[in-house]
Amino acid sequence: MKNTTIDNVEVINIPKIKDAKGRGNLCVIENAVLPYTVERIYYLFDVPSDASRGGHSHIACHELLVALSGSFDVVVKDGENSKTVTLNKPDKGLLIVDGIWRELDNFSSGAVCLVLASNKYEEEDYIREYSNFVKSKQ
Ligand code: TYD
């Protein structure tokens, strides 16, 4: 969407059930927690610490990013402003709405980035040139 900004990108709390007998934690993501219905799940892992992922925006797809393990930084841009969010807790998710440029880097060893997406994979939904992204926001 043309008029989304980085203010629309927010960290959401994922409901966590801490086991009463000390057996650890369980997090649940139901569609009710999200402003969309999950259509696709994918995850990034074994990302070298000097690698950058993302580097695109989506025309229609919304995504929730969760650091299931380890940590990484997410830089989001709306063509005017940018902010960096570090994800390092499995009970926090970064909701990236459509029309936002994102870059993921600084992956720790063993980091796993889970992505819950609103749409099926469609290359036509991607803008992969930053200059085209900026034009799309004007
Ligand atoms: P890409 O979007 O470049 O990864 P990232 O943004 O995380 O750096 O995707 C890498 C490759 O995987 C590319 O060839 C497209 C393909 N792909 C799928 O086939 N299905 C998917 O759901 C995703 C996310 C990517």
In this structure, which residue's CA is closest to atom 5 in ligand 1? 54
Q: What per-residue confidence (pLDDT) applies to 125?
A: 98
Q: For residue 74, what are the domain limits?
A: 6-136
Task: Report the domain count for the chain.
Answer: 1
In this structure, which residue's CA is closest to atom 6 in ligand 1? 54
Short-list 90, 93, 97, CA closest to 12: 93
CB within 6 Å of ligand 1 — which residues? 40, 42, 44, 53-54, 56, 121
Residue 58 is a catalytic residue: no
Q: In angstroms, how far is the first alpha carbon of the chain from the final one?
A: 11
Residue 52 in this model has a pLDDT that exceeds 80: yes
In a domain, 1, yes or no: no
In a domain, 37, yes or no: yes
In a domain, 77, yes or no: yes
Cβ proximity of 92 and 14 under 8 Å:
yes
Strands (E), the chain: 10-13, 16-18, 25-27, 40-45, 53-58, 63-69, 72-77, 82-87, 92-96, 101-105, 112-117, 126-127
Residue 2 in this model has a pLDDT that exceeds 80: no
Atom nearest to 115 CA in ligand 1 = 24
Q: What per-residue confidence (pLDDT) applies to 102?
A: 98
In this structure, which residue's CA is closest to atom 14 in ligand 1? 123
Express each pLDDT in 55-96 by its tens digit: 999 999 999 999 999 999 999 999 999 999 999 999 999 999
The secondary structure of residue 68, as a DSSP letter, is E
* Tokens coding 78: 């709306």
Express each pLDDT in 14-48 by its tens digit: 999 999 999 999 999 999 989 999 999 999 999 99
In a domain, 81, yes or no: yes
3-state secondary structure of 32: helix
Residue 1 in this model has a pLDDT that exceeds 80: no
Short-list 31, 112, 35, 37, CA closest to 71: 112
In a domain, 76, yes or no: yes
* Tokens coding 18: 């801490």
Q: What per-residue confidence (pLDDT) applies to 43?
A: 98
In a domain, 25, yes or no: yes
pTM of the complete model: 0.97
Cβ proximity of 110 and 70 under 8 Å:
yes
- CATH of residue 130: 2.60.120.10
